[in-house]
């Protein structure tokens, strides 16, 4: 955030500050977001969202929220899994006979904080692009 504030102090154009934010700050915030986001507490998510909001104030424009970053990264990861026929997780993306929705995963243990369940929920909601 310090360097972003310095860029504003030197009156750099807004587009340059957005590029800096995207390449430096946004690349660090969602590292492995597809793994930890489902298990993160609301307090942790709020703290990270506060960093994004403060960057919005410095730059002066709207930036993608933490939830938007999670959605885009998760769908991108799902697309890579579906595209790779040798991926061990590909069987999780089995469609129902109608072909419109994905089959839900049956488990005997509590796996609600894993990558698979939030991914399937995100992939099957109305209007979501296919993985």
Q: Are 26 and 65 in contact (CB under 8 A)?
A: no
What three-state secondary structure class fits 129? coil
What three-state secondary structure class fits 102? strand
| DSSP H or E stretch at residue 7 | helix 2-9
| pLDDT, tens digit (0-9, with 9 covering 90-100), for 39-70 | 899 999 999 999 999 999 999 999 999 999 99
The predicted pLDDT at position 96 comes to: 81
Report the chain's terminal Cα–Cα distance, integer Å.
Answer: 34
Q: Residue 3 to residues 13, 23, 24: CA-CA distances in angstroms?
A: 14, 13, 10
Which residue's entry shows tokens 């660090």? 28
The predicted pLDDT at position 109 comes to: 63
Q: Give pLDDT < 70 ranges for the chain.
A: 105-131
The predicted pLDDT at position 79 comes to: 85
Q: pTM score > 0.85 for this model?
A: no
The predicted pLDDT at position 44 comes to: 93
**The two three-digit tokens of residue 130, written as one number:** 């296919």
């Amino acid at each position: 955030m310090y360097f972003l504030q310095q860029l504003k102090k030197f009156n750099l154009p807004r587009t340059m500050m957005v590029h800096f934010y995207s390449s430096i700050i946004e690349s660090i915030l969602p590292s492995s977001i597809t793994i930890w986001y489902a298990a993160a507490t609301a307090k942790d998510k709020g703290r990270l969202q506060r960093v994004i909001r403060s960057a919005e104030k410095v730059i002066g424009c709207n930036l993608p929220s933490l939830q938007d970053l999670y959605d885009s990264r998760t769908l991108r990861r799902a697309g890579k899994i579906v595209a790779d026929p040798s991926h061990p997780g590909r069987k999780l993306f089995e469609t129902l006979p109608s072909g419109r929705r994905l089959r839900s995963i049956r488990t005997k243990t509590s796996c609600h904080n894993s990558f698979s369940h939030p991914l399937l929920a995100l992939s099957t909601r109305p209007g979501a692009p296919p993985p």
